[in-house]
């Protein structure tokens, strides 16, 4: 396939318009085979994806091990890897006979200790490099510091900036499921990018209130994750048992998704295609990260990104009050350049 369009951050890392989120490689919610996990990475690569995101949290290190193994034979200079710090994995042999309680189908052989201290971050990153089989990662995010603002916004950020200034990593940032605290990180610290999950989607535009304008003003890249809001926007028509942010979707949300799907159908676009295209319309957004559990899902993600979405769709959605106008959006939306 043709090379996927990409954006280069101010300090160097290149992010393709589509990134592969590796939570499913860590057995998110259910088991994924080694074969399927490798197939997801290989198919993403064949589709032009060169940005891969993981975290120790995902499967207690399983995601990092599988991603590293799948990328091992790829030229290191040709792809960008991000991982996260803040949940330090500590061996827990006394619970290894149990199932992980953190949402992943893996043995609870480790526990997650919240730690945004300098020592905790360095230990976490060292463990990630070992599991990935790499001598460096390109991007490191502080991971979900919602209840740890004081330490994360001081010691945490300072440690990451120090690693960047030493050349250990190329770029640093914060990844969260909320927009308000991300905006505070952008306002108060020298981060290069943020990953916002579920807050810049067809159903939730709260990131547009402050985070996206501020990020654009400061030259901070935004990676949009969870653009399906955990399932409600993942099918052409939302099923009655659809989930929204990992909870059963309300009837009101399902009705709104159905209304969005009606307009999409009139323009020859599927709801998931619009869900991927919408975040990329904002000039601050540098990539959309989607998960995949096998090769078929990776190929579907790439096909949805490549689908043409006419500007008339966004105009009608705005006219109907289903979506706000996106400031600075191109007249003909597409992948970032």
Q: Is 79 a catalytic residue?
A: no
pTM of the model: 0.95
Report yes or no: 287 and 16 within 8 Å, Cβ to Cβ.
yes
pLDDT band at 2 (very low <50, low <70, confident <90, very high): low
Query: Distance between CA 4 and CA 47 in Å, rounded?
Result: 8
Closest CA to 285 of 220, 190, 199: 220
Tens digit of each residue's pLDDT (9 = 90 or more) over 191-202 = 999 999 999 999
Q: Is the pLDDT reported for residue 331 higher than 90? A: no
Give CA separation, 41 vs 24, 54, 68, 73, in Å. 11, 12, 10, 12
Q: What is the mean predicted confidence (pLDDT) over 102-117?
A: 98
Instruction: Please give the C-alpha separations between residue 57 and each of 63, 293, 305, in angstroms, as whole numbers.
Output: 9, 17, 27
Alpha-carbon span 246 to 153, nearest angstrom = 27
Q: Which of 68, 79, 57 is nearest to 129 (CA)?
A: 68
Residue 333, pLDDT > 80, answer no
Q: Which residues pair with 88 in a beta bridge?
A: 113
Angle, helices 34-46 vs 62-71, to 10°: value is 50
How does pLDDT run across 21-68, given as a tens digit for each residue? 999 999 999 999 999 999 999 999 999 999 999 999 999 999 999 999
14-16 vs 18-21, strand pairing mode: unpaired
Give the span between the Cα atoms of 278 and 297, in whole angstroms.
20
213 touches 327 (CB < 8 A): yes
Residue 213, judged by CB atoms within 10 A of its CB (0-12, 13-18, 19+), counts as middle
Residue 133 predicted with pLDDT over 50 = yes
CB 103 within 8 A of CB 28: yes
- List, in sequence order, every residue forming a beta bridge with 247; answer none if it has no partner: 244
Q: Residues 51, 58, 141, 278: which is the catalytic one? A: 58
Provide the β-strand partners of residue 110: 91
């Amino acid at each position: 396939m043709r090379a996927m369009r990409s954006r280069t951050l101010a300090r160097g890392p290149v992010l393709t318009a589509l990134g592969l989120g590796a939570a499913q490689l860590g057995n998110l919610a259910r088991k994924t085979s080694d074969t399927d996990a490798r197939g997801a990475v290989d198919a993403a690569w064949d589709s032009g994806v060169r940005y891969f995101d993981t975290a120790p949290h995902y499967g207690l290190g399983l995601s990092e091990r599988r991603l590293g193994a799948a990328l091992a034979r790829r030229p290191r200079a040709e792809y960008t890897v991000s991982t996260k710090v803040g949940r330090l994995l500590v061996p827990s042999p006394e619970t290894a006979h149990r199932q992980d309680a953190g949402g992943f189908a893996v043995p609870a052989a480790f526990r997650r200790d919240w730690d945004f201290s300098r020592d905790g971050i360095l230990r976490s990153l060292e463990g990630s490099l070992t599991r990935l089989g790499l001598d460096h990662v390109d991007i490191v995010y502080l991971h979900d510091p919602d209840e740890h603002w004081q330490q994360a916004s001081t010691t945490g950020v300072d440690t990451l900036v120090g690693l960047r200034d030493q050349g250990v990593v190329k770029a640093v940032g914060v990844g969260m499921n909320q927009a308000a605290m991300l905006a505070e990180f952008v306002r108060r610290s020298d981060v290069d990018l943020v990953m916002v999950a579920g807050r810049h989607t067809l159903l939730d535009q709260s990131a547009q209130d402050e985070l996206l304008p501020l990020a654009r003003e400061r030259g901070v890249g935004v990676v949009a994750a969870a653009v399906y809001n955990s399932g409600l926007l993942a099918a052409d028509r939302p099923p009655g048992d659809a989930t929204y942010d990992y909870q059963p979707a309300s009837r009101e949300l399902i009705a709104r998704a159905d209304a969005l799907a009606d307009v999409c159908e009139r323009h020859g676009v599927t709801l998931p295609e619009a869900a991927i295209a919408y975040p990329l319309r904002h000039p601050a957004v540098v990539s959309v990260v989607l998960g995949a559990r096998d090769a078929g899902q990776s190929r579907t993600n790439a096909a949805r990104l490549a689908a043409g979405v006419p500007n008339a769709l966004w105009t009608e959605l705005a006219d109907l009050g289903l979506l706000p106008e996106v400031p600075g959006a191109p007249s003909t939306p597409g992948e970032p350049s």
